[in-house]
Amino acid sequence: MFDELFSLIDQMDNCEVTLTCYMVELYLENLSDLLRTKKNERVNLDIKENAHGMVVIPGAVELEITSVEEANRIFNFGLENRKTASTNMNEYSSRSHLIFSIVINTKNLQTK
């Protein structure tokens, strides 16, 4: 997915594109920020909808992505912070839900 995304961005000659991402986990009805580096710094997170109808999570760490390698590094860092456990139904199942969001901002250089 990251390869394809950056390939498409490379083809957009007349646009300035910035990518940011956040990664959270819904576990036992609580949202945890998987990109927060200070584990003991707990922040209450809620899923909201902004004025444009976009889903946002205020207070979640949002990191800029500038390359495929950086995207993979950030994603893997977040995965390492997940709380996963097997269930009686499936040994590979997790009781948590992962939300990884990439926010794409574009600016047309001709029209601004």
CATH 3.40.850.10 fits 2-108, yes or no: yes
Q: Quick: pLDDT tens for 55-88.
A: 889 999 999 999 999 999 999 999 998 876 555 5
User: How many CA atoms, within 13 angstroms, populate the side-chain half-sphere of residue 8?
Assistant: 9
Listing DSSP states for 51-68 in one string gives TTS-EE-TTS--EEE-SH
What pLDDT sits at residue 40? 61
pLDDT, greater one: 49 or 85: 49
* Token representation of residue 81: 């912070």
Q: Quick: pLDDT tens for 22-45.
A: 999 988 888 999 999 876 677 889
Provide the 10 A C-beta neighbour count for residue 90: 8
* Token representation of residue 83: 């709380």
What backbone phi and psi angles, to 5 degrees, belong to 33?
Answer: -85, 115
The amino acid at 22: Y
Q: Rounded to an integer, what distance in angstroms lies between the CA atom of residue 97 and that of residue 100?
A: 10
Give, in order, the Cα–Cα distances in Å from 26 to each of 1, 45, 46, 54: 23, 10, 10, 19
Where exactly are the structural domains of the chain? 2-108
